[in-house]
Amino acid sequence: MSETVDFKAVLEQTKELYGNLIQAVDFNDPYLRYSLVWVAFNPIFWNIVARLEYNTHFLTKVTGSAKAGCYTLAVIIFTLGLGRDHMFNLALKNQETSPFLQVDLLQKIGYAAITLGQILVLSSMYQLGVTGTYLGDYFGILMKDRVTSFPFNVSNNPMYQGSTLSFLGISLIKAKPAGLAVTLAVQLMYDIALQFEEPFTTKIYANRDSVENQKKNL
């Protein structure tokens, strides 16, 4: 005869676990705060700059061409990403390690998350190229057709999802609850960024298609 599950006990244990994880995070640590600020700043920065470029072509004018402007922005975004990752690692050094996360299964999940995350990021960069990855459409550098092969056949936003998985993996491997908090912030900022990026990108390609259709009808 099967035993009944004590859902009340499970709920209490779950609440205790979350409570212990949250209590292990030192939100007063300046490096953790800097890390969270950097996580928020990066997508805000590249969306503002990309919109300015689309409306004014200021980077195209400064660098002399749309491609040069896109490559310049790519270098800036990539550098900011390195800074964000460095600050994340500095923040974790000062944070408490949780025994609740020092579980062999979670360690394995952590390594799997990093591996999958990097596969998604690198394969999406390979498929899109530099200009496709780093907002080339805002510079008028549009792809002929939508990419539907891997990793885009398993993920709508492999770059963002892969990055989030990498943050998650590092947090689990190091058993740092603070890392999980940063991971949630990363996912939140990407979700917010997509609310602005996806409709605008759709608009850019719709405008391109409209112009091409007008030319065909002339």
**Residue ranges for the binding site for S-adenosyl-L-methionine?**
115-117, 197-198
The binding site comprises 115-117, 197-198
φ and ψ at residue 65, rounded to 5 degrees: -160, 160
The encoded tokens of residue 104 equal: 């062999």
Judging by beta carbons within 10 Å of its beta carbon (0-12, 13-18, 19+), is residue 134 exposed, middle or buried? buried
Residues 6+ apart with CB under 8 A from 91: 29, 31, 32, 34, 35, 178, 182
Alpha helix positions (H), 30-103: 30-56, 58-63, 66-93
Give the C-alpha separation, 203 to 184, whole Å.
29
C-beta of residue 42 within 8 angstroms of C-beta of residue 85: no
C-beta of residue 75 within 8 angstroms of C-beta of residue 126: no
Number of neighbours of residue 135 by Cβ within 10 angstroms? 22
